Amino acid sequence: MRVPWMEKEAIARKAEELVTGYEALIRAPVAPPIPVEDMIERYLGLNLIYEDLSAKPGMDDVLGATYIERKRICINEKLLEDSNEGRLVFTCAHEAGHWVLHRHLARASARMNRVAEAIVCRARNARQPMEWQADYFAACLLMPASEMKQAFSEICPSGKLVVDNVRSSLGGTGVCVDPCVENWHFIADMVRERGGFTNVSKEAMIIRLQELGLVVNKTEGSMGWRKTV
């Protein structure tokens, strides 16, 4: 399904609107860790279920799916078996992003092609614009820029970390005085703990830090899943 181009700022606003709406519903401020599963069910009014999607024909590489007409989000139950809570939570936030950003497009596409109103997220399609938009929405929702910058400033008052080395030149883990690619997980962990982002993976955290310009990787080494430009 084709989707129109969206600016990052527009996607971030949609994530902020979801948080604001949820805060109005529960009559309380929301801070990390963001309760995305409750947001999906209580505010968006969707049925969130976990099932073995990979056992269904043609869905062996599917982590999540959003069914528009049925108002249902399905998450592969195998993520519940994984010790990485961050992957599960990010997948939920990703599917919430599809609902917020793409449900009207899915409905139009379904009417045109006479197929079910569904968005199925396959690993092999991860680089498609629609999937990137949902990923970015998830990052903005789980790791809001203001909270990220506040937590980071408490750890590194200088404002940002510029990474010039792949390996530590001092042989330690002092991330602010000796930032390097091989210590990226220490950087991510420190921000996660300081900001309360306990349901976010280290990989998602370091990518978000780079996207916000708080960590600048000038090496050819990869921090997290990939090097973010």
Residue-level pLDDT, tens digit, the chain, 229 residues: 789 999 999 999 999 999 999 999 999 999 999 999 999 999 999 999 999 988 887 788 899 999 998 999 999 999 998 778 999 999 999 999 999 999 998 888 767 665 557 788 877 777 899 999 999 999 999 999 999 999 999 999 888 999 999 988 776 566 777 888 988 999 999 999 999 999 999 999 999 999 999 999 999 888 875 443 3
Per-domain boundaries in the chain: 8-142, 145-217
Query: Which phi and psi (to 5°) does residue 219 adopt?
Result: -100, 175
The pLDDT of residue 191 is: 96
pLDDT at 228: 36
Distance, in Å, from the CA atom of 78 to the CA atom of 165, rounded to the nearest integer, reads 37
Long-range contact pairs involving 180-184 (C-beta distance under 8 Å, separation at least 24): 181/217, 181/219, 181/221, 181/222, 181/223, 182/221, 184/215, 184/223, 184/224
In CATH terms, the fold of domain 8-142 is: Arc Repressor Mutant, subunit A (1.10.10)
Helices (H), the chain: 8-26, 36-38, 78-81, 85-113, 129-142, 145-155, 184-195, 202-211
How far apart (Å, rounded) are the C-alpha atoms in residues 216 and 150? 17
pLDDT score at 227? 40
